[in-house]
Amino acid sequence: MAEKVLIQVILPLHLEWEPYYSLPDGVSVEAGQRVKVMFAGREYVAVVSAVGVKAEGINVKDIISAGDELPSISENEIKLWRAVAEYYMCTVGEVYKAAYPSILRPLKRKRAIEPEDLAPGDEPIVLSAPQEAAAAKIRESFAGGKTALLRGVTGSGKTEIYLTLAREAVSRGRSVLFLVPEIALSRQIEQRVLQKIPGVMTCHSSVSPARRRRVADRIRAGGTYMVLGTRSALFLPHRNLGLVIVDEEHDTSYKQESPSPRYNARETAIMLARIHGANVVLGSATPSLESIYNSKTGIFTEVTLPQRYHGGGDSNVVIIDTGSERRKRGMVGHISLQLSGRISAALKDGAQVLVLRSRRSWAPSLQCAECGSILKCPRCNVPLSLHRGGHLVCHYCGHTSVYDAHCPSCGGELIPLGAGTQRIEEELAEMFPNARVARLDADVSDAEEKAVVQDFAAGNIDILVGTQMVTKGFDFSAVRLVAVIQADNMLAVQDFRADERAYQVLQQFRGRAGRRAEAGELVIQTAEPEHPVFRELTSSADSLSEEFLAQRRLFGYPPYTRIVALTFRDSNLQRLENMILELRVRLPGNASCAVVGPYSPAVDMVAGEYVRCLRLMLRRDKALVSTKKLIYKTVSEFIKQMKYTGHITIDVDPL
């Protein structure tokens, strides 16, 4: 009797090893092929990672069947999975599950797709002299094997440069991946891209599984293609990539926070490009400090585009001191009379207005007028937000309850504190009854979001109120005025990146106004008018990046170090505290790794579980990779030994 052939497989699970299986007589498979197997009493679709392996002294089961109806996984896909797993300290199986979330869904739609090449498009792309110079410098960077960082002010025409480079890649027979941070932004950019390069495919989390499979099948069929998508598009079965574009590279939406793998699309895009031998261009008006650091150290090539495409300078910045205005009775609700006057003038001139409020809901919190207590979620240590319609919502666990305006402790009257987007929308509608006012935030459905963006772009909405999604790279030509309500909340965050992020958001938002030759205006309502972030916006100098980097170097924060965050969640506080202290003493503490904590985060209880953290500060030296491996091994062995599965998460380069 012939000896059975053994294989190893990748399962879509958190497994530290790749299980062995045997092939039934007459069945043959290749690496990358998918097979159906039984594991721990359940059926899974696994990926063959090795064929003809040796495994002595273990009991090996046969596979159930070869998944002939499922397309195989390419070698480059598995290479990317392994690279992501190693860098972000997770398992290859977790990356596989993220890349193929619909693993077990039955296939319908099945017809052969013929290979075809994407036409680069005939409509001319006219670059200005500064754009031509920037594109030439990017090509030089590519020739030297470096990632290019395109640092262009808002409205400078970065998209035209991206499309020029994309056409050149397609003309050479190479494919293109174009990443944007938000779905709403991809929908607007899609129209601009299709005008220049017909046949572009889109892929993001709102795309149906069937449509995503069609995109994947088109890629596997061969030929050149271009995909426009959000971070999940990284895990398509890419072939022959020649160019990867990461627009708004600083944006925090590129970071996957949960579940694992907790990857950043910017770094992962560079991994993907390296595997395919592709070029990378990162673009932003306000690059991340990590990318600025990489440019200063010669890892990236910085390419600047300091002028707007249609001419005109930056939008004027007006800072309104809300404390002073209240003392002068210059506030109506949460809108100052100064701001309302500017809005009125813009509307009279036929211009549009964008208003940013970083908190959704009607009121972010409620306080009892009698006992002073803040109404909090019963399962999380966070205030409940009051939403329109009279219901209370926890934005962490989703708990909802009916609002009855009375304190549950003493029966006193509950007073709304602050204003969310819903309340600002109402105040503006009352203040400007003839204006068409709309809202864009996380409480708006996908269909409503798409309609609002289209209506605002078409001029059917006069004032749009929203959270930070309205600050992204939208191109609304009729916007002349942008305003920030309660800007102080952007800085009131326990995070060393708070000032950097606030500055990025405000500069991005500033760029939404005056997108053509006419200058726009940014109005900031704040109780801290002298804050350096706000004052920097009124200056012509760009000194904050250097200041931020100097502070980071002084205190040993990224980009001069790497952070690995260990987060513990447990319904039993005593057990949590015992476990976190036990793990802390086992973690490596040396010149390459400083352990900070344990400490309580700003939100120290979520969904009925206590939350505590350890922060590991790793030096960027030759020992970085080996130190991360040692940390991962230590945590994994601790979880197994203490039977503490499901309570600890590892986050590399956390936000």
**Res 400 pLDDT > 90:** yes
Query: Going along 279-372, which residue ranges are E strands?
Result: 279-284, 300-305, 316-321, 331-332, 335-336, 352-356, 365-368
**Res 353 pLDDT > 80:** yes
Q: For residue 159, which of 141, 129, 135, 136 has the smallest C-alpha distance?
A: 135
- The reported pLDDT for the residue numbered 108 is 54
- Range with lowest mean pLDDT among 107-116, 177-186, 624-633: 107-116
- Range with lowest mean pLDDT among 87-96, 262-271, 308-317: 308-317
Count of other CB atoms within 10 angstroms of residue 543: 10
Contact (CB, 8 A) for 148 and 141 = yes
Task: Tell me which of 102 and 435 has the higher pLDDT.
Answer: 435
Structure tokens belonging to residue 258: 């949960």
**Distance (Å, rounded) from C-alpha 114 to C-alpha 633?**
46
Per-residue pLDDT tens over the stretch 361-398: 999 999 999 999 999 999 999 999 999 888 999 999 99
**Res 107 pLDDT > 60:** no
What is the mean pLDDT of the segment spanning 461-469? 93
Which residues partner with 76 through β-bridges?
A: none
Task: Tell me which of 515 and 261 has the higher pLDDT.
Answer: 261
Per-residue pLDDT tens over the stretch 613-640: 999 999 998 999 999 999 999 999 999 9
State residue 505 phi and psi, 5-degree precision: -60, -45
241: DSSP letter: E
What is the mean pLDDT of the segment spanning 599-620? 95
**Res 581 pLDDT > 50:** yes
Length of the chain: 655
**Cβ contacts of residue 546 below 8 Å, gap of 6+?**
none
**Distance (Å, rounded) from C-alpha 21 to C-alpha 55?**
10
**Distance (Å, rounded) from C-alpha 5 to C-alpha 153?**
59
Count of other CB atoms within 10 angstroms of residue 7: 27
Helix (H, G, I), strand (E, B) or coil at 89: coil
What is the mean pLDDT of the segment spanning 58-69? 87
Q: Which domains does the chain have, with CATH numbers?
A: 6-99 (3.40.1440.60), 129-305 (3.40.50.300), 316-362+419-548 (3.40.50.300), 561-652 (3.30.70.600)
- The reported pLDDT for the residue numbered 103 is 60
- The percent of residues above 70 in pLDDT, for the chain, comes to 97
Long-range contacts of the stretch 142-145 (C-beta < 8 A, 24+): 142/279, 144/301
- The reported pLDDT for the residue numbered 494 is 75
Contact (CB, 8 A) for 522 and 482 = yes
**Res 416 pLDDT > 70:** yes
What is the mean pLDDT of the segment spanning 262-278? 98
Count of other CB atoms within 10 angstroms of residue 344: 14
Q: In which band, very low, low, confident or very high, does the pLDDT at 106 lie, cut at 50, 70 and 90?
A: very low
- Looking at every residue in the chain, the average pLDDT score rounds to 91
Pairing verdict, β 352-356 and 463-466: parallel
**Distance (Å, rounded) from C-alpha 554 to C-alpha 290?**
16
Q: For residue 534, which of 555, 511, 505 has the smallest C-alpha distance?
A: 505
Contact (CB, 8 A) for 142 and 249 = no
Per-residue pLDDT tens over the stretch 122-131: 888 999 999 9
What is the mean pLDDT of the segment spanning 10-26? 94
